[in-house]
Amino acid sequence: MNPANLVEVWRGPFLESIHQGHAVICDATGGIVAAWGDPEAVILPRSSAKMLQALPLVESGAADAAGLSQAHLALACASHQGAPGHTDVVSAWLAELGLGDSDLRCGPEAPRDREIKHDMIRAGGSPCQWHNNCSGKHAGFLTLTQHLKAGPEYVDPDHPVQTRVLEAFEAVTETKSPGFGIDGCSAPNFGTTLHGLARAMAFFAAADPESSHARDGAAGRLTQAMIAHPWLVAGEGRACTELMRATSEPVAIKTGAEGVFVAILPKQRLGVALKIADGATRASECAMAALLVRLGVLPADHPAVQRRMNAPIPNRRGMLTGHIRPVAGLAG
């Protein structure tokens, strides 16, 4: 099946561009409630899979053995801005493990918060690895590495940390991964179908944090952590944070590079996954906002929703020239 039209870009009265992609909504049984494009399209979920990558950290007992808080678990699932409220927690977390910046394998990255980045430049500073948006995930990997008494190269695909991630990933997607690509943070990112990714999100949505089953309890705890700490998951001005704050019921929302977005709706026991074919973030944010409006958890007139679902296109003089909108019917 071909990708479906999901997002339109209008300039004045002209339809200037169309973003195509795939989207799937799954229920707790793994069944498809609604779909656009090809549910069996194979994708790399990129950072939208961080909750899946964090499952072994919690289900193994490593998180509890290390005394990790809900905030730590939220950061393990985060693509953060590199603000002090993010990096201070990560650096302190590493110190508690007896580790430091050099033990991370994610690579340095300038803070994504523009003001903080500019302050760093003016001060003549340079970014550390804990400024990397994935440093919380990597601190989680290091916590599990210590728990397993494994070697330091935890991003190697055959390392015990990554073999556990793959096992958990295939179990909750209910799909054998066809392989992996190396992510921007150097960790393997396992491929799956849109249906598999949505099925995994529905598993998280139905998970009970008090469950005696380790994986079910881990998924429930990670979902709770994200919902409780939307700022840690991303940061000010970011779609994940702003949309989670805007929802009328608890929802965990997570972006991934190259136009991937997922959502976990515990009250409705639904999972959502989408992929924009051309990788455009403006389109993935618009489509996710529209689907969450469709599911009744985002008010269409909320400013944070309007900034994505009816995003204005200004020119350099500040004139309104057009809008980015979901295709008719996507928002319900």
284-298: pLDDT as tens digits = 999 999 999 999 999
- Token pair 């994935």 in the structure block, residue: 134
* pLDDT lower than 50: segments of the chain: none
List residues bridging with 36 in a β-sheet. Answer: 23
Q: Which pTM does this prediction carry?
A: 0.96
The pLDDT of residue 111: 85
188-209 pLDDT, tens digit per residue, is 999 999 999 999 999 999 999 9
The Cα 124–Cα 249 span in angstroms is 44
Instruction: Please check whether residue 239 is in contact with residue 231, taking contact to mean a CB–CB distance below 8 angstroms.
Output: no
The pLDDT of residue 214: 97
The pLDDT of residue 1: 82
The pLDDT of residue 126: 85
Tokens of 213: 């089953």
132-166 pLDDT, tens digit per residue, is 999 999 999 999 999 999 999 999 999 999 999 99
Q: Which domains does the chain have, with CATH numbers?
A: 4-326 (3.40.710)
The pLDDT of residue 119: 81
